[in-house]
Amino acid sequence: MPTGACLLVCLAFCLCTAARPAQKGASALEYRILVRRLDRSQTIAGDFDHEMQSKPSALAMLNRTHVSSSADVEVFRVSNTALDPFEACEALQLHNADVELCEADQRLSIAATSASPNDPRYSDQTYLANISVPAAWRTGQLGTASVRVCVVDTGLDYTHPDLVANLWNNPAERTGPGANAANGYQNGVDDDNNGIIDDLWGADFTDGASDGKVEDQNGHGTAVAGIIGAVGNNGQGITGINQVASIITCRFMDSTGNGFASDAIRCLDYCTAMGAHVITLSAGGTAQSSALQTAISAATARGVLLVASAGNNDGSDDTTAHYPASLSDPGIIAVGASTSNKTLWSGSNYGKNTVAMLAPGVNILSTGLGGTYTTTSGTSMAAPMVAGAAALLLAQFAQNGANISTQAPNMGLARQVKSLLLANADPLSAADAGKVGGGFLNVAAALAAVPQGGSLAVPTQAPPNAAAFDPSVDAADDPMQKSDPGGGNAELSIDAEHSYP
């Protein structure tokens, strides 16, 4: 084993197995550094301790977390009592001739979150003010990594610099035997025994796959994720509704934005097993799947809120079903898209019994593939607004003392979140109110209504989706159902209007 590798193992071991022998009065700095070097296949070979002999505490851990594709840098997590990022980089470059660049990851030098985030394109995210997110942030609630949102979609650009810090990282897979920086923490072993090998950021079930290859080949899932939880106040790009988040990804749709219900079902099971509180599914199809309904019911029975897009056919989900938005389940919240004027967007589906509320869905700026940013329209972008709002509310529930565990039957949690979002929505115009069950998303109003002490009152009034679509009415007239190529395995497609590069 090369000296450098030994050192890395030793340093990681020391940190993992024993409390750091803290220096008097010193507490460990936690930060990340970005490194670009000529040959990433090798571990860093320099003697970190050499220059630090005079320091009371050497670099305790140099742990590569991921590689950024757009900037071509590796990201290392550092825990140290003596060195600041500048000194750590100085030492690295002194002893490693191939280190071209080393700098502090920006998050350290700036406050982690702020009610006035410094993200340069925040001013282009006018939809945030539209749904009163800044007012919600001013209460001090900016999101938390202890609430998990699972994005069931086309995958994720998991190296996007404006997403990485807010992505769930499967701890069991990351620390499995032999998982290290050199192999990208992929040891070829299912370390948490959940059936998926090396599911570091989530799972891929596209076309019957069962692996951890969640890379987004479409861009849709990456845009959805950014709305929910792009890293806030990190000096780059945009901010999510949750400036801090924990986003799990589950990929079931391919590069064309299409996938099978059977694969979506496996995603629902996976998200639930991984402890998701909110699942967002910005996709739909017109063919009914009772298996999909069963999987959703299993998730919502544990308190998981499923946020679904209403669809972009300018039609009623009450009369022509759009699954899963039209499914009958009180733990589903189906979202239609509005314009920036809080009116129903002309392309959005609607339905008094099925579509619970509206959120912005036109020209929505979010994260794109390859570390870029992109603008997309459709109910696909409206649904993650509500999912993001739900996550922020759950963060407040937790702060107020509620048990937000989804590990036991806890149906009241999803119902309560849904109820708060609906009860505190802005009223719609008379014309729109005739087409949509609830109002327009108001995050600040809903957040302010989260009860103190964590008491959960199950709403007595039946919300939209309690009755929802009756498939016996017109399923026989549904052309998609008649021609379902999957032999009962319904197909789902993204609900977005965008051509991705």
Report residue 119 as tokens. Answer: 């993200």
Helix axes 220-229, 379-399, angle to 10 degrees: 30
- With CA atoms as reference, report the closest residue to 71 among 184, 159, 10: 159
Q: Is 413 helix (H, G, I), strand (E, B) or coil?
A: helix
CB of 226 to Ca ion, least distance (A): 9
List the x/- string, 235-254, binding to Ca ion by CB under 5 A: -xx-----------------
**Which residue stretch of 21-29, 95-103, 107-115, 155-163 sits at the interface with Ca ion (rule: CB under 5 A)?**
155-163
User: Among this protein's residues, is 39 annotated catalytic?
Assistant: no
71 or 189, CB closer to Ca ion? Answer: 189
Residues in binding contact with Ca ion, number by CB under 5 A: 17
Task: Tell me if the bond preceding 324 is cis, omega within 30° of 0.
Answer: yes
Contact flag: residue 153 with Ca ion (CB under 5 A): no
In our burial notation (b when 16+ CB lie closer than 10 A, e otherwise), range 183-212 reads: eebbbeebbeeeebbbbbbbbbbbeebbeb
Report residue 250 as tokens. Answer: 């589950």
With contact defined as beta carbons under 8 Å apart, do 273 and 247 qualify?
Answer: no
CB of 192 to Ca ion, least distance (A): 4
Instruction: Give the Cα separation of 310 and 335 in Å (integer).
Output: 5
Contact flag: residue 194 with Ca ion (CB under 5 A): yes
Contact flag: residue 190 with Ca ion (CB under 5 A): yes
CB of 176 to Ca ion, least distance (A): 4
91 or 250, CB closer to Ca ion? Answer: 250
Contact flag: residue 432 with Ca ion (CB under 5 A): no
Contact flag: residue 189 with Ca ion (CB under 5 A): yes
Contact flag: residue 182 with Ca ion (CB under 5 A): no
87 or 192, CB closer to Ca ion? Answer: 192
Contact flag: residue 196 with Ca ion (CB under 5 A): yes
Find the binder of Ca ion among 162, 317, 318, 329 (CB under 5 A). 162
Contact flag: residue 410 with Ca ion (CB under 5 A): no
CB of 385 to Ca ion, least distance (A): 17
234 or 300, CB closer to Ca ion? Answer: 234
With contact defined as beta carbons under 8 Å apart, do 501 and 302 qualify?
Answer: no
Residue recorded with tokens 């939209």: 464
**DSSP conformation letters of 339-403:** -TTSSB-TT--BBTTTEEEEEE-SSEEEE-GGG-EEEEBSHHHHHHHHHHHHHHHHHHHHHTT--
Residues 197-216, interacting with Ca ion (CB under 5 A): 198-199
Contact flag: residue 366 with Ca ion (CB under 5 A): no
Contact flag: residue 112 with Ca ion (CB under 5 A): no
Pairing of strands 332-338, 258-260: unpaired
Catalytic residue among 66, 160, 220, 322: 220
189 or 291, CB closer to Ca ion? Answer: 189
Q: Is 65 helix (H, G, I), strand (E, B) or coil?
A: strand
Catalytic residue among 105, 119, 153, 191: 153
Report residue 459 as tokens. Answer: 């709403």
236 or 280, CB closer to Ca ion? Answer: 236
**Which residue stretch of 7-15, 48-56, 167-175, 355-363 sits at the interface with Ca ion (rule: CB under 5 A)?**
167-175
Residue recorded with tokens 């490194």: 35
Instruction: Give the Cα separation of 249 and 267 in Å (integer).
Output: 9
User: Among this protein's residues, is 220 annotated catalytic?
Assistant: yes
Find the binder of Ca ion among 187, 262, 312, 326 (CB under 5 A). 187
Find the binder of Ca ion among 74, 173, 204, 329 (CB under 5 A). 173
Contact flag: residue 143 with Ca ion (CB under 5 A): no
3-state helix, strand, coil in the chain (%, to 5): 30, 20, 50
Find the binder of Ca ion among 119, 153, 318, 495 (CB under 5 A). 119
Q: Is 12 helix (H, G, I), strand (E, B) or coil?
A: helix
Q: What is the tally of helices (H) and strands (E) in the chain? A: 14, 16
Contact flag: residue 176 with Ca ion (CB under 5 A): yes
Residues 320-339, interacting with Ca ion (CB under 5 A): none
Catalytic residue among 380, 419, 432, 493: 380
Contact flag: residue 85 with Ca ion (CB under 5 A): no
Contact flag: residue 105 with Ca ion (CB under 5 A): no
Contact flag: residue 192 with Ca ion (CB under 5 A): yes
Residue recorded with tokens 């003010």: 129
119 or 317, CB closer to Ca ion? Answer: 119
What DSSP character marks residue 300? H
Count Cα neighbours of 73 within 13 Å in the Cβ-side half-sphere: 18
User: Among this protein's residues, is 216 annotated catalytic?
Assistant: no
**Which residue stretch of 17-25, 38-46, 154-162, 358-366 sits at the interface with Ca ion (rule: CB under 5 A)?**
154-162
**What is the number of the residue whose Cβ is closest to Ca ion?**
119
With contact defined as beta carbons under 8 Å apart, do 447 and 392 qualify?
Answer: yes
Residues 217-236, interacting with Ca ion (CB under 5 A): 231, 234, 236
Contact flag: residue 167 with Ca ion (CB under 5 A): no
Give the torsion sign (CA, 466, 471, 473, 477).
Answer: positive
Name the residues that contact Ca ion, by CB under 5 A. 119, 162, 173, 176, 187, 189-192, 194, 196, 198-199, 231, 234, 236-237
List active site positions: 153, 220, 380
